[in-house]
Amino acid sequence: MPRPVDLRSDTVTKPTQEMRDAMWKAEVGDDYYFEDPTVRKLEELASERLGKEDALFVASGTMGNLVCIFTSVRPGDVIIVETNAHIFRAERGHLGVVSGVQTKSVEGKLGVMSPEAVEDALAVFPESTAFPRVSLICLENTHNGAGGTCWSAAQIRAIRGVADRHRLKIHVDGARVFNAAVAQRVDPRVLVEDADSVQFCLTKGLCCPYGSLVVGKKDFIKEARFTRQMVGGGMRQAGMMAAAGIVALEKMINRLEEDHANARLLAEGLRDMGFKIEMESVQTNMVFVNGAPGESSMEGWVAELRNRGYLMNTPSRTGRMRMVTHHGVLREDILAFLATTSEILGARKRVPLVPA
């Protein structure tokens, strides 16, 4: 193949030429002293895009979630999370190690917790000096572990009702919140209007080489700056990195629809060959494969594809494997991938390399 096709993650995206040019030309200053005009512009743009009062530029999605949670809770508090939430299972335990919080997990349907299930979880912790205080509900939109699935504005509003009754805050891990907005054809501000804090990533489908943003009320962001200083410090001339984020928010959101269409094409093609795929979970740019057709081996299929230039994740111990479409994957790549898979499986009917 003329170039490798990387389906491991949308974090492998490369900055566009426009981003590289913007980074080269960026006006910079010392962000610690609030003197980097490009960082200020990015933060203003981020808060405007999500309809919040203020924003804070941070190093990563994990750092953004950590900053939001640490700023919102006290050590010993309980936070409500979905069973397969990224902050719970894939951020190296910062909830306990840094924030000192405990978690109560709630199983959702396709990553979405029902208000009733959250109420049941809260009932475990009555208001008493003997019990820890529940202070925060964390949502993930899109939900990575569930397959890149979306919370709707109505579903979040229902959780807001629970939070208000119990005087709780809501944090949204919106690493891919723009995917959720594009998939549902809604303004991203609508999706997060009921959240007290949100973090979103620039480094996934938006193609930036660095960074995430935290958004919320001005008082919250003021406190979050102190937290960022504690867990990572000032970023000095960060405008060179922020410049790519400005291009991302201005130019890269609407094109996410292309990634979603490619993921659907990939999922349907594999399903038609007999791969086990929960099509209900294919809502954005992720496809989770739960098993190969017949007696075929998932590991053998992946190894053969790697030999042919397709970069793939290793299947988990349960045989589940994630594939992610992004700016570096074209429709022609998906069609070629399906044709190669058909060839590997020895299928009778090859998948065409061009649309019928």
* pLDDT tens for each residue of 279-336: 999 999 999 999 999 878 899 999 999 999 999 999 988 889 999 999 999 999 999 9
Cα(77)–Cα(134) distance, rounded to whole angstroms?
Answer: 6
Same domain assignment for residues 198 and 328: no
**pLDDT of res. 355:** 46
Same domain assignment for residues 184 and 201: yes
Tell me the residue range of the domain where 84 lies.
17-251
Same domain assignment for residues 88 and 233: yes
Burial class, 68, CB count within 10 angstroms (exposed 0-12 / middle 13-18 / buried 19+): buried
Tell me what percent of the chain is helix, strand and coil, each rounded to the nearest 5.
45, 15, 40
**pLDDT of res. 238:** 96
Same domain assignment for residues 54 and 103: yes
**pLDDT of res. 2:** 58
**pLDDT of res. 130:** 87
Same domain assignment for residues 213 and 305: no
Same domain assignment for residues 262 and 232: no
Q: What is the mean pLDDT of residues 51-59?
A: 98
- Can you list the positions of beta strands (E) in 10-123? 54-58, 78-82, 102-106
Cβ(34)–Cβ(43) below 8 Å = no
Residue 217 lies inside a defined structural domain of this protein: yes
Structural domain ending residue among the three candidates 251, 283, 308: 251
Return the SS3 of 115: helix
Same domain assignment for residues 203 and 309: no
Burial class, 268, CB count within 10 angstroms (exposed 0-12 / middle 13-18 / buried 19+): middle
Same domain assignment for residues 23 and 141: yes
**pLDDT of res. 73:** 96
pLDDT tens digits, residue range 231-247? 987 889 999 999 999 99
pLDDT tens digits, residue range 86-132? 999 998 899 989 899 999 999 999 999 999 999 999 999 988 888 99
- Predicted confidence band at 349 (pLDDT cuts at 50, 70, 90)? very low
Same domain assignment for residues 194 and 265: no
Query: End-to-end distance of the chain based on CA atoms, in angstroms?
Result: 23
pLDDT tens digits, residue range 125-161? 988 888 999 999 999 999 999 999 999 999 999 999 9
- Predicted confidence band at 199 (pLDDT cuts at 50, 70, 90)? very high
Residue 315 lies inside a defined structural domain of this protein: yes
pLDDT, greater one: 350 or 181: 181
**pLDDT of res. 127:** 87
Q: What is the mean pLDDT of residues 204-223?
A: 97
Chain-centroid distance of CA 100 in Å reads 24
β-strands 276-277, 286-291 pairing? antiparallel
- Where do we find the tokens 């950590």? 66
Q: Choose among 293, 253, 252, 286: nearest CA to 271.
A: 293
Burial per residue of 119-140, b for 16 or more beta-carbon CB atoms within 10 angstroms, e otherwise: eebbeebeeeeeeeebbbbbbb
Residue 353: is its pLDDT beyond 50?
Answer: no
Residue 47 lies inside a defined structural domain of this protein: yes
Cα–Cα distances (Å) from 96 to 13, 133, 145, 182, in that order, read 31, 15, 21, 34
- Where do we find the tokens 């006006």? 27
Sign (positive/negative) of CA torsion 20, 22, 25, 31? negative
Bridge partners (DSSP) of residue 79 are 103, 136
Burial per residue of 341-353, b for 16 or more beta-carbon CB atoms within 10 angstroms, e otherwise: bbebbeeeeebee
Residue 53 lies inside a defined structural domain of this protein: yes
**Cβ within 8 Å of residue 126, ≥6 positions away:** none
Residue 348: is its pLDDT beyond 60?
Answer: no
Same domain assignment for residues 43 and 149: yes
Structural domain ending residue among the three candidates 213, 230, 251: 251
Which amino acid, one-letter code, is at 180? Answer: A
Residue 351 lies inside a defined structural domain of this protein: no
Q: What is the mean pLDDT of residues 51-66?
A: 97
* Helices and strands per DSSP (H, E), number in the chain: 14, 12
Residue 265: is its pLDDT beyond 70?
Answer: yes
The CATH number assigned to the domain holding 276 equals 3.90.1150.10
Cβ(335)–Cβ(353) below 8 Å = yes
Residue 310 lies inside a defined structural domain of this protein: yes
Most confident of 68-77, 89-98, 344-353: 68-77
Q: Render 176-234 in DSSP notation, one character per residue.
A: THHHHHHHHT--HHHHHTT-SEEEEESSSTT--SS-EEEEE-HHHHHHHHHHHHHHT--
**pLDDT of res. 354:** 45
Please report, rounded to a whole number, the percentage of residues in the chain having pLDDT higher than 70: 97
The chain-wide mean pLDDT, for the chain, equals 94
Same domain assignment for residues 200 and 312: no
Residue 232 lies inside a defined structural domain of this protein: yes
Bridge partners (DSSP) of residue 111 are none
Bridge partners (DSSP) of residue 276 are 291
Please report, rounded to a whole number, the percentage of residues in the chain having pLDDT higher than 90: 88
Structural domain ending residue among the three candidates 251, 286, 315: 251
The CATH number assigned to the domain holding 190 equals 3.40.640.10
The total of structural domains in the chain comes to 2
- Where do we find the tokens 């594999």? 270
Cβ(118)–Cβ(112) below 8 Å = no
Cα(288)–Cα(309) distance, rounded to whole angstroms?
Answer: 20
Residue 90 lies inside a defined structural domain of this protein: yes
Chain-centroid distance of CA 71 in Å reads 21
Same domain assignment for residues 167 and 77: yes
